[in-house]
Amino acid sequence: MEGGFRKHKMYIIKRRFLFWAACFIFTGLSIAGADAYYENLTGKKFKTTGEVRGVMSEDGMISVMMEREDGECIVVYWDNSTYNSLKSVLSSGNRVSAVVKVVDGGSIIGVSAERLARIIDTKKTSTLLDKNRKLSSSDLQAINVYEKTIKYFNPKLTSAEVRKISSSILTYSRLHNVDPRLVVAVIAVESDFKIDARSVKGAVGLGQLMPQTAKSLKVNPHIIEENIRGTTSYLRFCMEQWKKYPYLTVPLALAAYNAGPAAVAKHGGIPPYYETQNYVIRVMDLYAKLCSK
């Protein structure tokens, strides 16, 4: 028991080291300029083709995540007027061809875009349908473990609510390729699994989604399944922006989830806000505990 506690304590120390590394190592970098490849294209325009994976509005700019045909995900920033004229084109799920320009720091700015006909890959389509059709047998076995964990955080939940939350977490975490234990940690810190939780700033539900964020993700935050779908989708959105740094992806994504992607971009890492820094530590600590079970 003592050895296990010592091992877990060292795991926490490593997690906290990564947190502080994330705070300082990226000072002065731009979120979209993390890849030196784009910094070398400063001042140039190029055309890129791919699928729109997510759209977020923040600080007068629209961030559109595109998954290029080579599998790389990039974030393209659009000013409000340009985006509004292309809103129907830049909707999530659309396949588009966009003309973009790289500015100082490697940030990618959208210039124009057009919608393209979708190319259907039957293998990928059947795989996605299989994912959405039902939970696997291993998921069904795991549900019992997740139900006990969720019930621990909020004993007032009914059995039906617990089952709905656990199955939704497993379903959408698999769909968006996010560790379900991380989703549990985020929701636990955000709301203690209180379905009707509402913050003073207006954040709603289990994952504490802001109304504008929920609208961008096209989910109703008051419905359990949709709130969890939005939470995992937004978490994936945040993680994609830092995937070039695998050891720092999670803490930086958590900072973006709490303070917004623009704040992480502005400070080149975890912002110097007490609330955000404490939030990242709390989620990372709980995530480490869940992983050690």
Q: How many CA atoms lie within 13 A of 45 on its CB side?
A: 7
Sign (positive or negative) of CA dihedral 185, 187, 192, 198: positive
Sign (positive or negative) of CA dihedral 93, 97, 100, 105: positive
72 is catalytic: no
Contact indicator for 239, 233 with CB cutoff of 8 Å: no
260: exposed, middle or buried (Cβ count in 10 Å: 0-12, 13-18, 19+): buried
Angle between helices 159-175 and 180-191 (to 10 degrees): 130
Options 51, 190, 226, 240, the catalytic residue: 190
Catalytic residue ranges: 190
